[in-house]
Amino acid sequence: DTSLGEVNSFSPSMPISPSSMINQYKFEDEPELRDLFITVDDPESHITAIETFITYRVVTKTSRGEFDSSEYEVRRRYQDFLWLKSKLEEAHPTLIIPPLPEKFIMKGMVERFNDEFIETRRKALHKFLNRIADHPTLTFNEDFKIFLTAQAWELSSHKKQGPGLLSRMGQTVRAVASSVRGGVKNRPEMFTEMNDYMETFSQKINVLDKIAHRIYKEEREYFNEMKEYGPIHTLWSASEEDIADSLKGVASCIDKCCKATERRMAGLSENLLPILHEYVLYSEILMGVLKRRDQIQGELDSKVDALANKKTEKDLFSEEIGKLEDKVECANNALKADWDRWKQNMQYDMRSTFTNVAENNLRYYEE
């Protein structure tokens, strides 16, 4: 895609070292002054008669005036994060809400509740909250503030004040009814282009995600074979005096390659796989955001059509249309601003991630 062209076109005058390339971009998109710092750590298992679950400590430090204190410490479970995400989507239907890790990890990777799974989830939850904290609008959401500051019983009480089940069902039915009416007639060209971009992006990021997992799987198989292969040469050297030193030397080389491969695998699992998977989830979120924007537009279009066909109640309809026009304009402006911001962040993440992978590969082959 031409829009991603500049990612590959490093100028000849740029430093050759990959680490220099990373430093070139390191802080270019970060805000100059942050006033909200969040850490997710200290996972803890809880076993009850009904269920087993993990809670995480969420520590918040802030200098904002709307907070009563400069530091908070609360414990949250995964369901609390899900609640926050749904509240943000409800309050800001056309903003791009960061993705949460799935409830269950992908089959074949790691089992639920083992240390690797818990650590992977902790990092994803930490990133989720910090992406919200860095967002110019979401960071001031009242439910986000309550999530960071309320004790468990206060949060539980606040959750109960949300819309009831019937209300939520009504919203879902309306959304579905709106989406099945067909394409939006008056969708601005910009949003059609966004939709096309996301369809291509989704396809490409899913392919990249699959390839990265395949590379990691092959690397692990190679690593396991080397772990068995090295000690064989050490044992062999004990029964071959004439070539004992050579066999020990080969065993030592295999051991070094084994350690280098392990470091390379760690780089893939910590840096490449999580970023690619996060953007697989982002692609789904963005398709949902575009659909919600179309639903708001569709509601306006249907009211305009109804007004054209009705002879009475024109004043009432005109007032409703005015409100819907404002709603569509707000939705469009919110999505436009968030789209530019998301695209910039995505390109930065991809650029630094792949540069990091390249640097790790160079180090690996040198070793």
From 122, 18, 97, select the one nearest 353 (Cα to Cα): 18
Tens-digit pLDDT profile for residues 289-328:
999 999 988 888 888 777 777 655 666 667 788 888 888 8
* Cα→Cα distances 26→20, 22, 44, 124, Å: 10, 6, 33, 20
Residue 311: what pLDDT?
Answer: 55
Tens-digit pLDDT profile for residues 103-131:
755 444 445 567 888 888 999 999 999 99
Domains of the chain: 36-152 (3.30.1520.10), 184-366 (1.20.1270.60)
Tens-digit pLDDT profile for residues 346-364:
999 999 999 999 999 999 9
Residues 6+ apart with CB under 8 A from 139: 36, 132, 133
Question: Please, what's the b/e burial string for 179-199 (b: 16 or more CB within 10 A of its CB; e: otherwise)?
Answer: eeeeebeebeeebeebbebbe
**Residue 165 pLDDT > 90:** no
Is 186 within 8 Å of 301 (Cβ atoms)? yes
Predicted TM-score (pTM) of this structure: 0.78
Residue 23: what pLDDT?
Answer: 44
CA dist 225 and 258 (Å) reads 9
